[in-house]
């Protein structure tokens, strides 16, 4: 029997977060099939805010879309329940390297140098007075690669968008 190694950290996805929603219900499904995610009958509550996973994920994805739009405009976004703030910060690169040469050497760099040598950094400020998180060093938020790509694409279409982001 072979064992599959699990990673040390499990990435939390929307289905995991849905299990913490207090007014959840199962997705409508035909008899004889099991919905994914499955909600036990004891966890289903009849309430005016009751939602299934499809409705809940649509709401969360709309919220994330609004968050992305605010961050791409250079605004700082305060997270609810005193979880801190999110911001995209621009950092001036001190060293320039040639991207064409780096691709020929089969090395992949994460820095983009075609936006006036600026690197965009996603920051979660959780050390302020507004944040009430214990073990602040233990937690982290990182955006998915598609979000980072879309922000760079947004800046490459019009270079003046880079100057909307904060230097601080």
Instruction: Give residue-wise pLDDT tens across range 8-27.
Output: 677 778 888 888 888 888 88
Give 12's DSSP letter: P
Q: Tens digit of pLDDT for each residue in 104-132? A: 555 555 445 455 677 778 888 876 666 67
The sign of the torsion formed by the CA atoms of 154, 106, 118, 167 equals: positive
Q: Percent of the chain at pLDDT above 70?
A: 77
The b-or-e profile of 136-158 (16+ CB within 10 A means b, else e) is eeeeeeebeeebbeebbebbeee
**Domain assignments of the chain as residue spans, ordered by start:** 11-72, 75-168
Residue 134 pLDDT greater than 80, yes or no: no
Q: What is the pLDDT of residue 59?
A: 92
Q: What is the pLDDT of residue 84?
A: 81
Q: What is the pLDDT of residue 62?
A: 93
Rg of the chain over all Cα atoms, to the nearest angstrom: 21
Compute the distance between CA of residue 8 and CA of residue 17 in angstroms, rounded to an integer.
19
Q: What is the pLDDT of residue 1?
A: 46
- Of these ranges, 32-36, 111-115, 145-149, the one predicted with the greatest mean pLDDT is 145-149
pLDDT band at 166 (very low <50, low <70, confident <90, very high): confident
Angle in degrees, 0-180, between the axes of helices 53-72 and 145-157, rounded to the nearest 10 = 40
Mean pLDDT on 86-102: 68
Other CB atoms within a 10 A radius of the CB of residue 120 amount to 20
Contacts for 124 with CB less than 8 Å, ≥ 6 apart: 84, 85, 86, 140, 141
């Amino acid at each position: 029997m072979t064992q599959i190694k699990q990673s040390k950290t499990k990435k939390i996805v929307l289905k995991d977060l849905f299990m913490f929603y207090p007014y959840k219900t199962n997705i409508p499904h035909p008899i004889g099939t099991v919905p994914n995610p499955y909600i036990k009958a004891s966890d289903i509550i009849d309430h005016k805010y009751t939602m299934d996973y499809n409705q809940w994920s649509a709401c969360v994805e709309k919220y994330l879309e609004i968050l992305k739009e605010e961050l791409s405009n250079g605004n700082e976004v305060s997270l609810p329940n005193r979880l801190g703030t999110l911001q995209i910060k621009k950092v001036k690169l001190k060293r320039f390297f040639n991207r064409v040469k780096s691709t020929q050497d089969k090395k992949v760099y994460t820095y983009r140098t075609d936006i006036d040598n600026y690197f965009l950094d996603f920051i979660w400020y959780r050390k302020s007075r507004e944040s009430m998180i214990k073990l602040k060093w233990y937690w982290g938020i990182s955006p998915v690669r598609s979000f980072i790509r879309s922000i760079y694409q947004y800046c490459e279409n019009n270079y003046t968008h880079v100057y909307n982001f904060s230097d601080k």
